[in-house]
Amino acid sequence: MQMTHNTLSESIRTQSGELLNIHLASAIELHGQMKQAHWNVRGPNCIAIHELFDKVAGEIETISDMFAERARGLGATAHGTIQVAVKRSFLIPYPLEIADENQHIFAVAGALAAFGQSVRGAIDQTSTLGGTNTADLFTEVLRTVDQNLWLVESHGAQTDQVPHHHQ
């Protein structure tokens, strides 16, 4: 931990910094997944979905900055390299061979939902620790993730059907 005049205890700052770094790594991975979908989507609604995925990627990149800046404010080092993201991300790998827009919508929605679920847990953890400002940041992030999940799912032809992956 770096020296700081932040009045939170070092224990709270250390634990909050760790949670922020885990989510920073996963946000970096999530950004990459959004760009993968953005670059490769095909189908009748390609342009609209292509633009939506790019918008989501931009918002996830902003979230990464927020996590890194909060970690630094607590005296932690932000670990934001691709190598760290690969090792620490909790997201499942994105399916690289899909192109169909419904398959991408399903995969992107799943990644956003998994990220959001972990952020919900981080809200509880940081609230319990006494890091209310960090919990507030995670809450703000969750609102953004949930809104983007809703927008992505609204583009699905039928969100109650799971796309079939051909092997």
Asked whether residue 9 is domain-assigned, the answer is no
Asked whether residue 107 is domain-assigned, the answer is yes
pLDDT, tens only, 62-102: 999 999 999 999 999 999 999 999 999 999 999 999 989 99
More confident residue, 13 or 116: 116
CATH number of the domain residue 57 falls in: 1.20.1260.10
Across 47-51, 76-80, 154-158, least confident range: 154-158
Residue 37 has pLDDT above 60, yes or no: yes
Find tokens 């507030």 and name the residue: 136
* Exposed e or buried b per residue across 52-73, where buried means at least 16 C-beta atoms within 10 angstroms of its C-beta: bbeebbeebbebbebbbebbeb
Provide the whole-model pTM.
0.89
Residue 127 has pLDDT above 70, yes or no: yes
What residue numbers bound the domain in which 118 lies? 24-154
Asked whether residue 19 is domain-assigned, the answer is no
Asked whether residue 35 is domain-assigned, the answer is yes
Asked whether residue 4 is domain-assigned, the answer is no
**pLDDT confidence of residue 126:** 93
**pLDDT confidence of residue 130:** 78
The answer to whether the CB of 129 falls within 8 A of the CB of 58 is: no
Q: Number of folded domains in the chain?
A: 1
Asked whether residue 165 is domain-assigned, the answer is no
